[in-house]
Structure 1
Amino acid sequence: MKIAIIGATGFVGAPILREAVSRGHQVLALTRNAKNIPATGSVAVEKVDVHDTAALAQAIAGYDVVIHAFAPPRSDSMETRIARQAQGTGSIIKAIKQSGVPRLVAVGGAGTAEVAPGVPLMNSYFFPPEYEGGARSTAVIKDLLQSEDAFDWVFISPPNFLEEGPRTGSYRTGKDNLIIELSTGRSYMSTADYAVAMLDEIETPRHHRQRFTVGT
């Protein structure tokens, strides 16, 4: 497949890039830091400002799927992160429509996953306040996508703790519920396994215009 990754050098984008390449896909890495990715036979690298909708649409035209792994800097305030994510995601959605790419797969956040019916993790009393900026800015992606029906999309929410770790290839899925290991009460997944779950969904689509959750 031809896969374009927006934010291909990021914390989650980089493992997704490695997983996509390992499976033999043709990848376009779109990033603010193009020098950090060496171009190879299966990876084309392009520096594109996510807010430049016309340039983004031109870059992704002809691709089978776009992965939205764009995230504002963690050093920004929560209000700035929310605003930048809204602007960036809005530009990505417009570029998808202009280019005719049929599918968008977005890196979601754990904050919107439910810990009880109708209760998202980010609104629970035990949610760490230091993660609120990331949770509420990532929630913007889900909010904007939910009103879109011009193209197929999916928003994949990870568990509470998404960290660098080994690739096991094993994971579980849910719909809106936060995935928790019942024996330990821990909600965890490695970024490598999150990339596995995403590429599995891209290669064999099982979800359409909805969010689903993953975890180990």
Structure 2
Amino acid sequence: MKLALIGATGFVGKAVLNEALQRGYEVTAIARNPQAAGINNDKLKTVTADIWDTDNLAAALKGHDAVVSAFNAGWTNPNLYNDFLKGSEAIQQAVKQSGVKRLLVVGGAGSLYVAPGLQLVDSPQFPAEWKAGATAARDYLNILKKEDELDWTFLSPAINLHPGERTGKFRTGTDEPLFNEKGQHEITVEDLAVAILNELENNEFVKRRFTVGY
């Protein structure tokens, strides 16, 4: 598979890059400074691209089998909400322009339902410092649900996403957190990357959102 990876130098992006290369994918790592990934591999191509330049990004995406967007507008960005939405829509448009049909977007857990009609981001206990980014990801999912040209998938990571071990063993769900026996919804970023590439290979959640957890 030829995979274009946007945000390849971020927390999630690096894990996806490592997993894809281990599976023998040909990967084009796209970032403002893709060399920051710090990986040398014959199957890795690095491209410097600005997501706001739709034509340039579309050209970089052309010819791939799938695009994974691990785009993050920056948690300390004072304009995080607007930049995340505009950036995500720019990526979506570039994918359509490129002719690639398969898009997997790594979003957030905030849009998961913790009670009937109540999403995590709207719950009283949700941390204020994560609110703007989580709300943006939730609102972008609603935009993506109207997309009928692309074979899109939106992944909500576990509430507790952290570095750790790659086990390859986890559960998948759709719109609700997958709590374990301790009441935790968690997964390592390494296993999140496994879930992302499993979905690209199995196409279980096309035009749908899914989540993962132990």
Using the size of structure 1 for normalisation, the TM-score is 0.95
Which secondary structure does the structure 2 equivalent of 1:138 belong to? helix
Shift of 1:39: 4.7
Question: Equivalent residue of 1:111, what SS?
Answer: coil
Give the SS at the match of 2:11.
Answer: coil
Q: CA deviation at 1:58?
A: 0.4
Which residue does 2:2 correspond to in 1?
A: 2
Deviation of the 1:137 alpha carbon: 2.3
Contact 1:29 1:45 in 2 (8 A): yes
1:202 aligns with 2:200: yes
2:109 paired residue number: 110
In 1: Cα distance, 2:147 partner to 2:40 partner: 33
Whole-angstrom CA distance in 2 between matches of 1:35 and 1:128:
33
The match for 2:185 is 187
RMSD of Structure 2 on Structure 1 (CA): 1.1
Partner of 1:44: 45
Distance 1:202 1:152 in 2: 10
The correspondence of residues 64-143 of structure 1 with structure 2, limited to 5 A, is 64-77=65-78, 80-143=79-142
Conserved in 1, the CA contact under 8 Å of 2:8 and 2:34?
no
Query: Could you say if the C-alpha distance between residues 175 and 13 of structure 1 is closer, same or farther in structure 2, counting changes exceeding 3 Å?
Result: same
- 5 Å matches for 1:126-165? 126-165=125-164
Pairs within 5 Å for 1:26-65: 26-37=26-37, 38-65=39-66
Superposition TM-score, scaled by structure 2 size: 0.96
In 1, distance between residues paired with 2:132 and 2:82? 11
Instruction: Give the CA deviation at 1:190.
Output: 0.6
CA distance in 2, matches of 1:82, 1:176: 22
1-side partners of 2:197 and 2:124: how far apart? 33
Q: Which residue of 2 aligns with 1:215?
A: 213
Aligned residues with identical type, % of pairs: 41
Q: How far is 1:44 from its partner? A: 0.3
> Structure 1 residues 36, 12: CA separation in 2 closer, same or farther (over 3 Å shift)?
same
Q: Select between 167-176 and 32-41 the one with higher mean Cα deviation.
A: 32-41
Q: Is the 8 A contact 1:180 1:187 kept in 2?
A: yes
CA distance in 1, matches of 2:40, 2:142: 34
Which consecutive segments of 4 or more residues in structure 1 shift more than 3 A?
none
Q: Report how many residues are paired.
A: 213
Shift in Å, 1:60: 0.6
CA–CA distance in structure 2, aligned partners of residues 11 and 145 of structure 1: 23
Q: Distance in 2 between matches of 1:62 and 1:39?
A: 22
Q: Equivalent residue for 1:176? A: 175
